[in-house]
Structure 1
């Protein structure tokens, strides 16, 4: 059964209630007309509209790359605890992009496109200082707000990179080996054979 407006019932009318006025344990059901009228009375009496402050939407932050001293989940939790909302992509309304080590190229490009301020999260304790300060934005603009050049930062290593590094190490090891002979049957890369031959060439 729907509640009826107390104000209308006092006048012998039946109107469905859509709001209430509660004072302590006492509650009155009101229709919209009576709700507006009594709200006006209270606003005049208290010189206060009674309007609730609009809830501020949490500004969004994009985190990319590795933050020294934090794993991904902990870094995001620390930033959320500062009152920010973690987003996956940089939009026009993104407050800050937090750039750690090896940030994603496309996210840096998005930030550059939207002129999004950047927080340099590559330095040890940078995020910890922001947590202590209570927000990220107060530290943006203090020499840490330039978007990184992803190409200039350490790139993620591919399997080919690792293979090339190991081959280079092996080349140096073979080349420095004294009195070691290569077995022609071994599957030795040509670069290693050449380095070894040069290192062990008879003196002219």
Structure 2
């Protein structure tokens, strides 16, 4: 007969809490999109596009200040920020096994499309798209219209049609 382990009498098994997750905003210096996320996952965190109850950190990379929705979520939920725009900071954190916040949260930047080249605009849209549900978006070529449209909707000032007076 096999021995069956059970909880001591009067002690209930602890339910596991939600897995900790982080948001990544922008490009991490020295890492491509997938390797940065894989490094975070290897440390035991999930990677989410929008904050939820399990989100414990915002990792801010190059251009992260352009992701207004993640910055807004971080401010609203009181999520600490880890600014990794300085080369080597993310790698040092990964090697130490400790991702920690405490850096100031920047104000969301308004994208001035008139002063950006087409290549820069595509880079901004691609970074946003990868963080918001299009992980297989090609790194080169034309940005699909549905992705560009979703980006524009997400960054529009108007929440909807206004009622006529």
* TM norm structure 2: 0.58
CA contact (8 A) 2:18 2:54 kept: no
Counterpart selection for 2:94 from 131, 135, 144: 131
How many residue pairs get matched?
A: 115
- Please state how far the C-alpha of 1:71 moved relative to its aligned partner: 0.7
Equivalent residues in 2 for 1:99-178 (5 A)? 99-103=60-64, 104-137=67-100, 140-141=101-102, 145-151=103-109, 158=113, 161-162=116-117
2:50 alignment partner in structure 1? 89
Q: What corresponds to 1:193 in structure 2?
A: none
Comparing 91-100 with 51-60, which one deviates more in the overlay? 51-60
Higher RCO (C-alpha 8 Å, min separation 6) = 2
Relative distance call for 1:124 and 1:157 in structure 2 (3 A) is farther
Q: 1:158 to 1:127 in 2, by over 3 A?
A: same
* Larger-gyration structure (1/2): 1
Using the size of structure 1 for normalisation, the TM-score is 0.48
Runs of at least 5 residues in structure 1 that lack an aligned partner in the other structure: 1-20, 24-34, 164-204
| 1:109 partner SS | helix
**RMSD across aligned C-alpha pairs, in angstroms?**
3.1
